[in-house]
Amino acid sequence: MQQRLTLRRPDDWHLHLRDGEMMKAVLPETARHFARAIIMPNLVPPVVTGADAAGYRDRILWAKPKGSKFQPLMTLYLTETTDVRDLRAAAEIGLITAVKLYPAGATTNSASGVRDITKVMRVLENMAQIGLPLCVHGEVTDPEVDIFDREAVFIETVLGPLRQKLPELRVVMEHITTKDGIDYVKGGGDTIAGTITTHHLVINRNHILAGGIRPHYYCLPVAKRETHRLALRAAATSGDPSFFLGTDSAPHLDSAKLQPCGCAGCFTATNTLSILAHVFEQESALERLEAFTSLNGPAFYRLPVNEDTITLTKGTAVQHPAQIDTADGPVTVFDPGFALLWHVSA
pLDDT digit string (tens) for 290-334?
A: 999 999 999 999 999 999 999 999 999 999 999 999 999 999 999
- Pick the closest to residue 182 from 224, 144, 141 (CA basis): 224
Give 105's pLDDT tier (boundaries 50, 70, 90).
Answer: low
Provide the CATH number for the domain around residue 142.
Answer: 3.20.20.140
As a whole number of angstroms, the distance between CA 135 and CA 156 comes to 17
User: Which residues, including other chains, have CB under 8 Å from residue 163's CB and lie 6 or more apart?
Assistant: 169, 171, 188, 191, 192
The residue from 19, 86, 248, 308 that is catalytic is: 248
Burial (CB count within 10 angstroms: exposed 0-12, middle 13-18, buried 19+), residue 153: middle
Distances (CA, A) of 279 to 207, 217, 262, 266, 340: 17, 18, 28, 17, 10
| pLDDT 10s digits, 260-283 | 999 999 999 999 999 999 999 999
Domain that holds residue 259: 4-345
Other C-beta atoms within 10 Å of 108: how many? 19
SS3 at position 57: helix
Residue-wise pLDDT tens digits, 244-257: 999 999 999 999 99
Please, which pLDDT band fits residue 109 given cuts at 50, 70 and 90? low
Work out the number of other CB atoms within 10 angstroms of the CB of residue 309. Answer: 12
Helices (H) and strands (E) in the chain, counts: 13, 13
For the chain, the domain total comes to 1
Active site residue 190: no
Beta bridge partners of 332: 323
